[in-house]
A and B are shown apart, each in its own frame.
Chain A
Amino acid sequence: MSTKVKEAPIPTIPLNARLSRWFGRNLLRIYMFFGFSYLFIPVAYTFAFSFNDSGKSNLIWKGFTFSNWQNPCGAPQICEALGNSIKIGFLATVFSTILGTMIAFAIARYKFAGRSSSNLLIFLPMATPEIVLGASLLSLFLVFKVNPGFWPTVIAHVVFCISFVVVTVKARIASLDPRLEQAAMDLYANEVETFRRVTLPLVAPGIAAAALLAFSLSFDDFIITNFNSGTMTTFPKFVYVSAARGIPAQANVIGSSMFFLALAIVIAGQLVNRKKAR
């Protein structure tokens, strides 16, 4: 046991092998660095120019100021547009999440006649370009003499959000072990109780993710909104319209805030999940 073997010198690995190993290990990291830079350059630019003491058009750097952040509603109409976007996003999220979750449960949990055509009906809105969705809805509203505006926009947003909600929630339901629900039934929970105490809590993260997705799709939508909102303005519409003559720095303030807010929500969600798992 205690026989001491004379230690042999550790064999060295040739330099070129070490270099290629370093590249092999780090190539993807380097790539990731460039990939993320590409993703974040415009975000960083938007954030930086939210501090620009620019006056009306925010094209050239004129000096640092906090005034845009102190007065984000300073540009005419901007906060009205933001308010509309939030209201529309909220309503579209609520309706599409409810309708989409119901459809997801039906498709994921039951075998019924017309299941594959139901899947097709969910796929079609995703395979239709936004401009066609927007234009066709506008034509319908015009036929029925409905003026474009707030509610037509909400309806239009629900149409394209539903499919994304269905797909997201369906995936979550499919990953659920059916034995958990059987166990609940075995432990004296009836169908309603089983759904409330076991199925729903377990599918909830999927529904939350779907709602978050629906809100961001709605909030960021321009093309469909442009067709169906008439004279009402939303935040993306405001940006598009003012792009021609220069966007006020307040828009950068709002865009950056949305970015940090969303980041905070997602990170908070992750932390809650981690705490729950502990």
Chain B
Amino acid sequence: MTLPKVRVPYLLLFPGFAFLFTFFILPIMNLAQTSTQTAIVGGDTGQYEQSFAFSNYIDAFLENREQFYRSFIYASLATIFALAIAYPLAYAIAFKSGKFKNILLVLVVAPFFTSFLLRTVAWKQILGEEGFLVPTLRSLNLMGEQTTITSTAVAVVAGMTYNFLPFMTLPLYASLERIDPRTIEASGDLYANAITTFRKVTVPLSMPGVVAGTLLTFIPAAGDYVNASILGSPNTKMIGNVIESRYFKIVDYPTAAALSFTLMAAILILVTLYIRKAGTDELV
């Protein structure tokens, strides 16, 4: 009560923002600094000095172009598939589940609590050579002896789709649930058939959820390397795998930093463009 009112928000923000500054902004700045370092001539492995070698970025990008493209393509595919699976699911829970709404909502989040690594490994075993599915399909001649499911791009994208599904479903549900069902009835009353109603009323009203869901799926998917390393093969390596191995196996910090920075910048640019587009147009 004795505090001047103006100061209250800043006092509330201070601890959290001091923390985020120290452990988020500062590391990112440090990462930028690391990214232009070069190895000390005659130094040990892992010793680098600042030499403003911006060429690190070009070298790192050219060397790992393929993994970059792959990351963005896989992440985009996973996002699209997740949207396609989650939208009807969220729609059904929001509008057609009656008193089971809360239970169904819990069930969407529930698998999330079994460690995602365990579930990814479970998929690998279900779809793998020793699993039940592949031998069955082979014996029915639906699958060639040489064809496999795991260690392919399909498996990696499917794994990502699966793992990020709750991140898509929940925001979609939240924005669908807020729609007044009367607006949908009103659309029907005004001569729109079910499909037109869906396109012209439901989808535009659920756009905030679509934007949030796709971002929450795409961003982690683009930087992911767990699905690629468990379900994939050397041919499905993503940029995350490269950064990880640069750090831990090769101890090439500058390249890893340059790659991280490029990835972050690319995602931020894409996200900004996307939000701007989604904010002004209806995207349909």
A/B: CB atoms within 8 Å of each other: yes
State how many angstroms separate the Cβ of A107 from the closest Cβ of chain B.
8
Number of residues in B with C-beta < 8 Å to the partner? 79
Chain B residues within 8 Å of A125, by CB: 20, 24
State how many angstroms separate the Cβ of B21 from the closest Cβ of chain A.
8
Number of residues in A with C-beta < 8 Å to the partner? 80
Taking CB atoms and an 8 Å cut-off, the chain A residues in 124-180 that contact chain B are 124-133, 135-140, 143, 155-156, 158-159, 162, 166
Query: Interface SS of chain B: helix, strand, loop or mixed?
Result: helix
Q: How far is the CA of A136 from the CA of B22 in the complex (A)?
A: 12
Q: Are B230 and A35 in contact (CB under 8 A)?
A: no
Q: How far is the CA of A139 from the CA of B260 in the complex (A)?
A: 12
Determine if B52 is an interface residue (Cβ-Cβ < 8 Å): no
CB closest residue in chain B, given A143: B30
Query: Binary interface profile of A, 27-45, with partner B (CB < 8 Å = 1, else 0)?
Result: 0110110011011111101
Taking CB atoms and an 8 Å cut-off, the chain A residues in 36-79 that contact chain B are 36, 38-43, 45-46, 49, 59-60
Q: Are A35 and B117 in contact (CB under 8 A)?
A: no
Query: Binary interface profile of B, 196-238, with partner A (CB < 8 Å = 1, else 0)?
Result: 0000000000000000000110011011111000100000000
Known: A126-B219, A223-B226. A121 touches B102 (CB 8 A): no
Q: How far is the CA of A32 from the CA of B7 in the complex (A)?
A: 50
State how many angstroms separate the Cβ of A212 from the closest Cβ of chain B.
10
Q: How far is the CA of A127 from the CA of B216 in the complex (A)?
A: 8
Interface residues of A (CB under 8 A from B): 28-29, 31-32, 35-36, 38-43, 45-46, 49, 59-60, 99-100, 102-103, 105-107, 109-110, 112, 118, 121, 124-133, 135-140, 143, 155-156, 158-159, 162, 166, 190-192, 216, 219-220, 222-223, 226-227, 235-236, 239-240, 243, 247, 251-252, 255-256, 258-259, 261-263, 266-267, 270
Interface residues of B (CB under 8 A from A): 1, 6, 8-10, 12-13, 15-17, 19-20, 23-28, 30-31, 34, 85, 88-89, 91-93, 96-97, 102, 104, 106-126, 130, 162, 165, 215-216, 219-220, 222-226, 230, 240, 243-244, 247, 253, 256-257, 260-261, 263-264, 267-268, 271
